[in-house]
A and B are shown apart, each in its own frame.
Chain A
Amino acid sequence: MKKSAIKKVVSFAAIVMTAGIFAGCSTAKTQTKGNTQTGNTVKIGVNMELSGAAAGYGNSQKQGIQLAAQQINKNGGINVNGKKKKIKLIIRDNKTSTTTSASVAAQLTNNDKVSAIVGPATTNAGTAEIPNITKAAVPSVSPSATDPNYTKQKNGKVQPYVFRACYQNNFQGGTAAKFMTNNLKAKRVAVYADNSSDYGTGLAKAFKKSFKGTIVDSQYFSEGDKDFNAVLTSFKSKKIDAIYVPGYYTEVGLIVKQARQNGINVPIVGSDGMADPKLAQIAGDKNASKVYYTTPFSDDVAKSNPTAVKFMNEYKAKYHADAPTFSALAYDSVYMIKSAIESEKSADSVKIAQGLAKIKNFDGVTGKITINKNHDPEKPIAIEQLTNGKVSNSFNIK
């Protein structure tokens, strides 16, 4: 608790300081708001967690972004009011730190003069970025900042320059809760959440709020933990119908493995952080049965979606691996910016922000996306079921 408070103070101080430094520059600038685009390229900044705790996710997102930019450039570039312009990516590492994220945002908007930013991956780093991008009037699309309040100001109004490509927690947690009651008929549920990110704690909170049955026990683990036997053993003695585990596949894979080895055979339900083939590899195919997770990017849905099929094939050709959800979300973020530029016929940052807010029925890898008034994407959600490590079924939740 104390640590995060200190972090907040430090990051606030850093924002104030960078804002102070750059205040001098902005007075010397011309009167127009935002970064106007000149030259033959569209500059897109990437403020991403390439090192530090979230580096795994940041790097898969970087791959998605690079793939999208490469594809767009190969096809001639973005059509800006009749003129094709290529994308120039400016990738900077925020080291999974709020202070660095704030200064990276200042650097991207003021020095590199980008038109739009993709990233950061985490809500904390994303929130730290907001003051600087709002001041510079440059929009940012975060592929994976899931906190419900991320796109909102303190007074409840929407942040004008903040967008995201992923679900917010209340939607995903609520869907899981509905699924547990309606499809699994679970009445007594234990929650075991990742408390090292607000992804896990946020989802746990949203789930508990909307679940109708009894929450028997609620426990936490942190990133990098490998031993979950103690908590699972105590779950076992409590007669549970299902376990809800919002977290990422690195830990949830181990939870699934250890739960099955402890003789706990109830369904385990999780979130899109589990949607990775590595989950079954870590858990062991034999153990990965009766495992469910909410995902925008299910294989079944993907097969009927030509954009997704194309993405998965090209991703495989470029990186020789199956595309993780994070790459798909990052890829969509870049294409959302492209679509905003093309519909507004301008690559000026203020125009892009307006275009992003108006996106409707955009064909993304992660489904048809419509941006609502809170700058959250509305897109279909599916629940996939694993049996022996393979996706065996998918449910559409309305």
Chain B
Amino acid sequence: MQTVFQQIINGLSLGSIYALLALGYTMVYGIIKLINFAHGDIYMLGAFWGYYVINVWHFNFISALLSAMLVGAASGVIIEYFAYRPLRHSPRITALITAIGVSFFLENGMSYLFSSNTRDFPQIIKQVNYNLGGVLISNIQILILVTACILMVLLQLIIKKTKMGRAMRAVSVDPDAAELVGININWTISFTFALGSALAGAAGVLIGLYYNSIDPLMGMTPGIKAFVAAVLGGIGSVPGASVGGFLIGILETFFQSIGLSAYKDAVVYFVLIVILLIMPAGIFGKNTKEKV
């Protein structure tokens, strides 16, 4: 029983990272129908930024996290401005290929500038384990879970309660009509990218702190898994992305704990296929019929 609870905690802390990343995918997709494959690399940029400011400028955890969110947001906006905005009216596949290109550019650019070595993330928060009836939970796991939840709630508030959030929802429903009623589309899309990328930047610092190991290619696999989580939850849906992220984290942990570690990714993707066959729009996705 202890083992089961321990595994649930493992799954939740892994899942919260996927969830944070999945939110960025889902928001960008919801608004401009673009799968931003460079999203995982913004997470890597966030981790490297955290590494840099903590080591060189001796930032504490909170300021490192906030500054990484700012850097993530800025890089998201810059990427959108230079790579995606000029292609807004070209076929969707063009933008998709550009996204893959941006991802490769960031990964290999960082490898070139800072070498592809793995480095150890400065441990600014000392790890303490709490023993709850045989189940170990560390302060960093709690921190990740809590930060992820706070950020997700904050995001939900921004989308549902603010004027900017209303603009985002309007653009996602019908960009042309939104423009007609005076919403600045460019500004709204930039804001969406900033918001999603800020979450990725935060995830980068959290992961760096938790696993103590960062490298330029670290965004690749989590990026793809987060994308899967977003699809699973119903791409375009914000609560769906959070649930999808936690689900993928727990599934992965579950399959490893029953001894299928060699096939964990295969099994996770298999589950994805099964879920999508049963619910093509994902768990929270709206099943809209297109009129011809």
Contact = CB atoms under 8 A, between A and B. Distances in A.
Contact of A257 (B6, B117, B212, B221): B212
Contact of B120 (A56, A217, A261, A278): A278
A261 B129 contact: yes
A233 B136 CA distance: 10
Given A56-B117, A220-B262, A227 B257 contact: no
A304 interface: no
B211 interface: yes
B220 to A, nearest CB: 7
Given A224-B221, A233-B3, A233-B10, A282 B118 contact: yes
6 contacts: A224-B220, A231-B261, A253-B213, A263-B129, A282-B118, A282-B213
Interface residues of A, number: 31
Contacts of A284: 123, 212
A262 B131 CA distance: 10
A310 to B, nearest CB: 25
Nearest to B213: A282
Interface string B202-246: 000001000111010110110000000000000000000000000
Interface of B: 2-3, 6-7, 10-11, 13-14, 111, 115-120, 123, 127, 129, 136, 138, 207, 211-213, 215, 217-218, 220-221, 252-254, 256-259, 261-262, 265
A343 interface: no
Given A261-B127, A282-B120, A226 B213 contact: yes
Contacts of A263: 129, 136
Output the residue of A55, A230, A262, A278 with the most chain B CB within 10 A. Answer: A230
A236 interface: yes
B257 A233 contact: yes
B256 A226 contact: no
Contacts of A261: 127, 129, 136, 138
A336 B118 CA distance: 30
Nearest to B217: A224
B211 A254 contact: yes
A194 to B, nearest CB: 11
Given A229-B253, A230-B256, A231-B261, A281 B120 contact: yes
A268 B223 CA distance: 31
A227 B18 CA distance: 12
Contacts of A222: 265
A219 interface: yes
Interface of A: 55-56, 59, 195, 217, 219-222, 224-227, 229-231, 233-234, 236-237, 250, 253-254, 257, 261-263, 278, 281-282, 284
A169 B189 CA distance: 54
B6 A233 contact: yes
A231 B256 contact: yes
Contact of B118 (A221, A233, A250): A250
Query: What 8 A-B pairs are tightest by C-beta distance, nearest first?
Result: A230-B256, A220-B262, A229-B10, A219-B261, A230-B253, A281-B120, A226-B211, A250-B118
Given A233-B7, A278-B118, A281-B120, A221 B261 contact: yes
A225 B213 CA distance: 11
Output the residue of B10, B11, B111 with the most chain A CB within 10 A. Answer: B10
A222 B217 CA distance: 14
Contacts of A219: 256, 259, 261-262
Given A230-B7, A278-B117, 6 more contacts: A56-B118, A233-B6, A234-B7, A257-B212, A278-B118, A281-B119
A282 B10 CA distance: 20
Contacts of B252: 227, 230
Contacts of A236: 3, 6
A237 B213 contact: no
A227 B14 contact: yes
B253 A250 contact: no
Nearest to B108: A51
A254 B136 contact: no
Output the residue of B118, B119, B120, B138 with the most chain A CB within 10 A. Answer: B118
Nearest to A280: B120
Nearest to B221: A224
B224 to A, nearest CB: 11
Contacts of A278: 117-118, 120
B246 to A, nearest CB: 14
A237 B3 contact: yes
A220 B255 CA distance: 12
Contact of A220 (B10, B218, B261): B261
Contacts of A221: 261
Contacts of A237: 2-3
Contacts of A262: 6, 136
B257 A234 contact: yes
Contacts of A282: 118, 120, 212-213
Contacts of A220: 261-262
Given A229-B253, A262-B136, A278-B120, A217 B211 contact: no
B40 to A, nearest CB: 12
A237 B7 CA distance: 12
Contacts of A59: 115-116
Contact of A227 (B6, B120, B211, B212): B211
Contacts of A231: 256-257, 261
A250 B211 CA distance: 11
Given A231-B257, A281-B120, A284-B123, A254 B212 contact: yes
